[in-house]
Amino acid sequence: MGEGSTDTPQGVGHGGGREASHVPVLLKEAIDFLNVRRGGIYIDATVGLGGHSYEIAKRLGAPGHLIGLDKDPAALDIARTKLESSAGVSPATADWPKITLLQCSFAEVGERFGKNFADGILADIGVSSLQLDDAARGFSFQADGPLDMRMDPRSERTAEQVVNHLDERELADVIYEFGEERRSRRIARAICRSRPIRSTAHLADVISAAARPMNSEQRRIHPATRTFQALRIFVNRELDDLRALLEAAPRILKPGGRVVVISFHSLEDRIVKDAFREGAKQGVYTVLTKKPVTASEQESDRNPRSRSAKLRAAERV
Ligand SMILES: C[S@@+](CC[C@H](N)C(=O)[O-])C[C@H]1O[C@@H](n2cnc3c(N)ncnc32)[C@H](O)[C@@H]1O
C-alpha cells in the first residue's frame, strides 16, 4: 500500500470494536500540538462524537469559542449533548466556551471563515464508529446493510449508484486509486457481472469470490477491505475535501495558529505531508512534525483503530 505498507484501511474489521473505536485517537498529542489558548477561537473540522472537541472546550474556558463541523447530522446530535452539557454543569454558569456546531463539509471553511479568524484547526478525518457500527449506513462489510456509505445523508451519490452504474473501467480506476487495490480490474469485472448489487453482504461476497488472497499481505486483511475503502472515499469525495481544507487553512489561521490533522491511510497522509511541505517552502508554515506522530504501544493495545493513525501539525508563520 504505497509508502504506508502497514496501513490498516480504517475501521473495517481490524479489532476496532465499538467500545474501543469510541475513544478519540491521539487525544493528548492532538491537544498538545494544537496548543489551545484560553479565550481563543478553534475549529474542530470533524467534531464526530465530540471527544477531541470536549478537551479543546475545557481549555478554552468562557471567553473562548469552539466551532465544530461535521457532514453527519447524527454525529452532531451526539456531540451537541456532550458539549452543551459540559460535564453536568450548566454551561451558563460553568467556565465553558461558546459552542457553534454546523452541518457542513470542512471543504467549505474557506468560504465560511475569514482571514486570520482562528487560533487552531483540528481535523481527525475519516469515518466514525457511529457510522461504521450502524449497518443501515452501509459502511462496513461485516454487517449486512444497504449500499449507502454517505457521511452526509443529503448528498446525492451513494455507493449503490457507484457500484451499479459506473462502467467497468471507471470502477476499476476508483478501486485502484482510492483503495490501492492491485486486483482492481478483476474485482470490477466481477462486480459488473453480478449487477444489480444492493447490499454490503452481496458486494463483499462478490469481491471475496473474485479476489482470493495471493500472498500473506493480502491474507492479513479481508479481501473486501480496500474496495470498501475506495468506495467510501469516492462517495464522500474525501480526498478533494481534504485538499480544499488544507488549501484554505493558512488564510484562516492567525499568525502562530496551528493546524493538526490525524489521518488513517497513506493517501490522506501524503496529501497532508505535501501541503505542509509546500506551505513551509512558501514561508507560511513551520512544520512541527518532521515525521508523523503515531500511537504509543499502550494506545494501540487499548484502541486498535489508533494503529493506523498518523498526526501531522504545522504552525502559521
Ligand atoms: C474519526 S471521526 C471524528 C471523531 C472525533 N474527533 C471525536 O473525537 O469523536 C470523523 C468525523 O468526520 C466527519 N467527516 C469526514 N469528512 C468530513 C468532511 N469533509 N467534512 C465534515 N465532516 C467530515 C465524519 O462524518 C465523522 O463524524
Place of cell 508563520: 317
- pTM for this entry: 0.92
* Any atom of ligand 1 within 6 Å of the Cβ of 57: no
* Mean pLDDT confidence for 200-222: 89
Atom of ligand 1 nearest to the CA of 106: 20
| pLDDT at residue 157 is higher than 60 | yes
How far apart are the C-alpha atoms of 107 and 313, rounded to whole Å?
18
Q: What's the pLDDT score for residue 87?
A: 52
Q: Are 127 and 11 in contact (CB under 8 A)?
A: yes
| pLDDT at residue 19 is higher than 80 | no
The residue whose C-alpha atom lies closest to atom 7 belonging to ligand 1 is: 51
How far apart are the C-alpha atoms of 258 and 27, rounded to whole Å?
16
* Mean pLDDT confidence for 192-200: 98
Ligand 1 pocket test: pick from 44, 58, 69, 70 the residue with the most ligand atoms within 8 Å of its Cβ.
70
Minimum mean pLDDT range among 14-23, 113-122, 243-252, 298-307 = 14-23
Tell me how far apart the terminal alpha carbons of the chain are, to the nearest angstrom: 34
* Any atom of ligand 1 within 6 Å of the Cβ of 50: yes
CA 31 to chain centre: 17
Residue percentage of the chain with pLDDT more than 70: 90
> For residue 49, which of 134, 142, 111 has the smallest C-alpha distance?
134
pLDDT in tens, 239-297: 999 999 999 999 999 999 999 999 999 999 999 999 999 999 999 999 999 999 999 99
| pLDDT at residue 188 is higher than 60 | yes
200: which 3 cell numbers? Answer: 454490503
| Planar angle of CA 217, 127, 245, nearest 5 degrees | 110
* Any atom of ligand 1 within 6 Å of the Cβ of 178: no
The residue whose C-alpha atom lies closest to atom 24 belonging to ligand 1 is: 127
pLDDT in tens, 87-115: 555 555 689 999 999 999 999 999 999 99
Q: Are 155 and 227 in contact (CB under 8 A)?
A: no
Q: What's the pLDDT score for residue 212?
A: 82
For residue 72, what pLDDT band results from cuts at 50, 70 and 90?
very high
The residue whose C-alpha atom lies closest to atom 19 belonging to ligand 1 is: 105
